[in-house]
Structure 1
């Protein structure tokens, strides 16, 4: 049963988004309103509203005379999103470090531990990774910017899912997380920002290289 606290269109949007993230709806897949309405047992009105919501989030592209299709992101665009992440997130971290309390650091440690222990299962790894980063940036007080970065994470999730089974990158990510916490605790903003930038850009390049291999480029 769908959760009643959400509107029908929001529930449909959640369901479509999840299918995109797990790869059931692949890039350029046409999302026909009548088919989706039948699949989810609703009228076409909430489906149309859901597709417009997903369009605003970057998951769906609305094409004239064709309707809605799953957005395709090029390798250059993926790398650009990682570069954008690096610019924004290093700024957030630089703002956050002077304001971090012991409670903030304790939360970051808890999130890092959750990522390390459960992330390798793959089921929640991307969400756990975002939970850790969001905890680091929260003391900055820039809620709107943090929400913006969260949406970028969502856009990239269908691609980053493939990295959770790669032990080498997962282990390095965990090492970076713990080192970031140590640098934040030491109030070493310069080194923390440098490590975070390398952490993000390295992940982006690794992902693009992996996608190039899979696409035979």
Structure 2
């Protein structure tokens, strides 16, 4: 990124830039991140870079290794599967809490996010941000802000691996159909059906990703 970032939010902006480089695959797993290089590139001192790296460490994007510095973290297939299983456990709990409390305003926000997600259409435009916005909108009525923030971090952590799924035929369309079906169950206050669909939606996505990553690993 050219130019100097604003002093007011310098460390968070540096963290955003580095996070995006990791999510996009520009910084692959086990890549060393040199503070002096980042500072020179962005026109900032090493202090906000160091603060940014500590933020990314707390989010699970980098490891801080003694005498080596920051290294982009790697996640095993077993750990990725565990993250999806954790999502399924937590998000089904959140939606079960949210359904009895949902208002028209909640549905309007979720529908807007669903339309944004579906409007991308092509597989190579798979929108992770709109996908999370949709899920977050559904869970908002639960009132569990801390838990929703935690789940949001899990979504971010696995996003760089999910990007490898974009070439799979029908993924966007399948997710879009399930989003609208999920909202219909929520409107009917059919909690059992919503929970069952959401669990399948999440675990199916995890299984597709694991299979894709195995294929890449095995050549």
- TM-score if structure 2 supplies the norm length? 0.94
Q: Is the alpha carbon distance of 1:92 and 1:63 closer, same or farther for their aligned partners in structure 2, counting shifts above 3 Å?
A: same
Q: Is the alpha carbon distance of 1:183 and 1:52 closer, same or farther for their aligned partners in structure 2, counting shifts above 3 Å?
A: same
Q: Is the alpha carbon distance of 1:138 and 1:122 closer, same or farther for their aligned partners in structure 2, counting shifts above 3 Å?
A: farther
Q: Decide whether the 8 Å contact of 2:182 with 2:197 is kept in 1.
A: yes
Give the alignment partner of residue 87 of structure 1, picking from 86, 89, 94: 89
Matches within 5 A, 1:8-47: 8-47=10-49
Q: Which runs of 5+ in 1 are unaligned?
A: none
In structure 1, the partner of 2:100 is 98
Give RMSD over aligned pairs.
1.6
Q: Decide whether the 8 Å contact of 1:163 with 1:170 is kept in 2.
A: no
- TM-score if structure 1 supplies the norm length? 0.94
Matches within 5 A, 1:49-64: 49-64=51-66
Q: Is the alpha carbon distance of 1:58 and 1:105 closer, same or farther for their aligned partners in structure 2, counting shifts above 3 Å?
A: same
Give the alignment partner of residue 142 of structure 1, picking from 141, 144, 158: 144
Give the alignment partner of residue 215 of structure 1, picking from 211, 214, 217: 217
Residue correspondences, number: 217
In structure 2, the partner of 1:191 is 193
4+ residue segments displaced more than 4 Å: 121-124
Q: Is the alpha carbon distance of 1:197 and 1:5 closer, same or farther for their aligned partners in structure 2, counting shifts above 3 Å?
A: farther
- Cα distance between partner residues in 2 of 1:7 and 1:186: 44
Q: Decide whether the 8 Å contact of 1:86 with 1:200 is kept in 2.
A: yes
Q: Decide whether the 8 Å contact of 1:120 with 1:165 is kept in 2.
A: no
Q: Which runs of 5+ in 2 are unaligned?
A: none
Q: Decide whether the 8 Å contact of 2:94 with 2:139 is kept in 1.
A: yes
